[in-house]
Amino acid sequence: MKKNKPKKVTIDGLALMVGKGFAGVDRNFKVIDKNFKAVNKRFDRIENILLEKHSEEIKSLKDRVKVLEEALAVE
């Protein structure tokens, strides 16, 4: 069985290989950035829903405490 001789790699050849490896990376980052923006929008929407719900719950609790204070004549 004949063994393959390893190919000699020159600096120029290595530079070309590295360049090909990085080709298109900028496009990938644009796609990733777009996806992160969509995820951030969803998180913002969820955060606003939760904040609104908590605000309603706090108002309800304040109203209930007020009723209790009035019933017990506490200020």
- Residues in Cβ contact with 52 at an 8 Å cutoff, skipping those fewer than 6 apart: none
pTM of the model: 0.55
| pLDDT at 1 (0 to 100) | 61
| pLDDT at 11 (0 to 100) | 93
Burial per residue of 7-37, b for 16 or more beta-carbon CB atoms within 10 angstroms, e otherwise: eeeeeeeeeeeeeeeeeeeeeeeeeeeeeee
- Enumerate the domain spans of the chain: 25-72
Select the more confidently predicted residue: 24 or 55. Answer: 55
Of all residues in the chain, the percent with pLDDT exceeding 70 is: 96
Whether the per-residue pLDDT at 75 is higher than 70: the answer is no
**Residue range 28-55, pLDDT digits in tens:** 888 899 999 999 999 999 999 999 999 9
